[in-house]
Amino acid sequence: MALLSGMPTIDIVDSPAGDGLLAAFEKTSRTYLMEKTGSLLNASVGGKNLSLPVFRYDWQIRSEAINLLNGRTVPSVLWWGKRESRDIYLDLMDVLDGAVRPTGTEFLDTLLYEDFLDSTQPAFQWYLENCKLTGCRH
């Protein structure tokens, strides 16, 4: 992830090579952001029992992954990776919303912060890490 994130802009054109590179970057981004360990972090949040997915990679690597497609190309192809970035973000939000669904709120609901604040330290850490990735304001 560090090597890919540090790459200079790519002079991509709408071509089979550009399409292949886009697909590879999308798959890499999705893998490092979304891959789970198969374990769950069970916690009581807001009086509800949650089973939070434990992600394989730490949040700093996941942060590089969610931003992997951003700002990769020259100004003539600003569209490159935008749809894929949106789709990856929406898929992550589906996972996070599903994890907190028993609370009756969505992941980005500001009321959820207080509930996680009063939960266990590992659950609050999980929440804050994923907030960093999704743009929560806390």
pTM attached to this predicted model: 0.89
**Cα–Cα distances in Å, from 22 out to 16, 64, 77, 85, 129?**
10, 16, 12, 11, 27
Give the model's pLDDT for residue 77. 75
Check pLDDT > 80 for residue 14. no
Average pLDDT for 108-134: 96
- Contact of 5 with 67, CB cutoff 8 Å: yes
Query: How do residues 37-64 score in pLDDT, each as one tens digit?
Result: 999 999 999 999 999 999 999 999 999 9
Mean pLDDT of the chain: 90
Distance CA 13, CA 60 (A): 30
Give the model's pLDDT for residue 28. 94
Distance CA 25, CA 135 (A): 22
- Contact of 74 with 67, CB cutoff 8 Å: no
64 token code pair: 């590089």
Average pLDDT for 98-107: 97
Question: Would you call 100 exposed, middle or buried from its count of C-beta atoms within 10 A (0-12, 13-18, 19+)?
Answer: buried
Give the model's pLDDT for residue 11. 67
Amino acid identity, position 62? R
Average pLDDT for 80-105: 95
State the CB neighbour count (10 A cutoff) for residue 133: 20
Give the model's pLDDT for residue 12. 66
